[in-house]
């Protein structure tokens, strides 16, 4: 049943975007008819071989339910889960146990290492449980990729938090699973270690070429380590795309607000010339690249990221500075454009004109620095 990690690497090289795992029209309801909760609502997503997918969404949006269904820990009410050509959603208990042991690697925030065993014994434990032989070449590769060669005889108490996480990662990889599932793995670590471990996890995932799904609350983590991000809301996919697509071209206010900071300016299309729309915003006009078809007279919402605009003395939308705050690497502004509060981030403020609270000035942005929803 198991397909091996090194096959993944070979196939990854030959057919980089082949789908390894899919959720197909997945519905999961909990509770009786009169108090039913629909945790997943006809959700379909694909996970491509060798790619890391980050799943984000507010609490209760269905992230854990999706992970549990993918891992065969929970059965969907309807729809299918496919992993490596196997229909997980129709397996019996015996098949599920084997599937979870051989096809899925789990990484949680608690490392769950056995304190009395060495790092090496902990890593090999899943093979012992599955009564599978040790493939020394694969073991050596995994240990070397996670950087534990010098620590194999140490017990968990003799290892740092980051090293214990590496043991947990190696233990998940040793069975050569089809998919690696990360459930908020870094939330117990301090801020600095989180940042270095996320880079490490990304490097290891890419070096092994394994398909991974990563649930996180942390948007910088999601952007830093994934090929694709899925934003979930109320059991459905709000948007799926590369980190850049999600950040620069959010499809809704919900997504724009969820990933990064966003200003929303309401306007009416006054004129269209090629790709550029002239909008009436708060009684003034601004040119904006139409990232979707719009028509003259249409009321639209424009997304402006805080770093996409600057304050000027003479061009743009007139505004009044309400907050001007030095933050070291950037100046943080809150300005009022008509009725709308706009937050701006001016990076590298050292050599720039700084506007003080109470000043009247202008918000300037390039037409292609914004996005029409």
Residues that bind ligand ADP (CB under 6 A): 30-31, 37, 39, 57, 59-65
Helices 136-146/161-173 angle, 10° precision = 150
CB 203, min distance to ligand ADP, A: 27
Nearer to ligand ADP, 61 or 219 (CB): 61
CB 341, min distance to ligand ADP, A: 30
Nearer to ligand ADP, 238 or 361 (CB): 238
Nearer to ligand ADP, 57 or 177 (CB): 57
Give the Å distances, CA to CA, from 58 to 110, 143, 165, 259: 22, 35, 26, 11
Nearer to ligand ADP, 208 or 230 (CB): 230
Specify the residue for token string 């999961």: 28
Dihedral of CA atoms 297, 303, 309, 315 in degrees, nearest 10, equals: 10
Nearer to ligand ADP, 47 or 362 (CB): 47
Nearer to ligand ADP, 59 or 351 (CB): 59
CB 234, min distance to ligand ADP, A: 9
Alpha carbon distance 90, 86 (integer Å): 9
- The helices-and-strands tally (H runs, E runs) of the chain is 10, 20
CB 308, min distance to ligand ADP, A: 30
- Supply the DSSP symbol for 222: H
Nearer to ligand ADP, 60 or 349 (CB): 60
CB 242, min distance to ligand ADP, A: 22
**Phi, psi (5° rounding) for residue 213?**
-125, 130
CB 253, min distance to ligand ADP, A: 20
CB 39, min distance to ligand ADP, A: 3
Report the residue count for the chain.
373
Q: Are strands 299-304 and 78-83 parallel, antiparallel or unpaired?
A: unpaired
Helices 119-129/161-173 angle, 10° precision = 30
Q: Supply 339's token pair.
A: 């009725």
> 341 by DSSP, 3-state: which?
strand
Element holding 369 (H helix, E strand): none
């Amino acid at each position: 049943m198991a397909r091996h990690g090194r096959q993944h690497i070979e196939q990854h090289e030959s057919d980089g975007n082949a789908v390894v795992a899919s959720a197909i029209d997945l519905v999961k309801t909990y509770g009786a008819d009169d108090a039913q909760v629909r945790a997943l609502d006809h959700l379909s997503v694909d996970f491509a071989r060798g790619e890391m997918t980050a799943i984000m969404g507010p609490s209760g949006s269905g992230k854990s339910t999706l992970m549990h269904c993918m891992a065969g820990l929970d059965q969907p009410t309807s729809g299918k889960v496919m992993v490596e050509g196997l229909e997980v959603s129709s397996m019996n208990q015996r098949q599920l146990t084997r599937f979870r042991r051989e096809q899925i690697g789990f990484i949680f925030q608690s490392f769950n290492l056995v304190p009395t065993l060495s790092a090496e014994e902990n890593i090999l434990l899943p093979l012992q449980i599955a009564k599978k032989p040790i493939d020394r070449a694969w073991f050596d590769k995994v240990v070397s990729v996670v950087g534990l060669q010098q620590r194999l005889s140490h017990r968990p108490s003799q290892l740092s938090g980051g090293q214990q996480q590496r043991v947990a990662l190696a233990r998940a990889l040793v069975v050569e699973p089809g998919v690696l599932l990360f459930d908020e793995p870094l939330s117990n670590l301090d801020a600095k270690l989180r940042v270095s471990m996320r880079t490490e996890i990304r490097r290891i995932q890419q070096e092994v070429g394994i398909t991974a799904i990563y649930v996180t609350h942390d948007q910088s983590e999601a952007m830093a380590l994934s090929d694709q991000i899925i934003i979930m809301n109320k059991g459905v996919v709000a948007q799926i795309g590369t980190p850049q697509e999600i950040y620069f071209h959010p499809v809704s206010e919900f997504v724009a607000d969820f990933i990064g900071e966003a200003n929303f300016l309401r306007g009416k299309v006054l004129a269209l010339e090629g790709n550029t729309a002239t909008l009436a915003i708060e009684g003034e006009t601004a040119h904006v690249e139409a990232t979707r078809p719009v028509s003259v007279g249409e009321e639209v919402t424009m997304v402006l990221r805080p770093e996409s605009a600057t304050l000027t003395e003479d061009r743009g939308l007139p505004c009044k500075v309400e907050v001007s705050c030095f933050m070291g690497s950037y100046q943080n502004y809150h300005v009022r454009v008509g009725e709308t509060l706009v937050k701006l981030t001016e990076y590298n403020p050292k050599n720039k004109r700084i506007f003080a609270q109470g000043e009247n000035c202008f918000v300037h942005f390039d037409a292609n620095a914004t996005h029409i929803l």
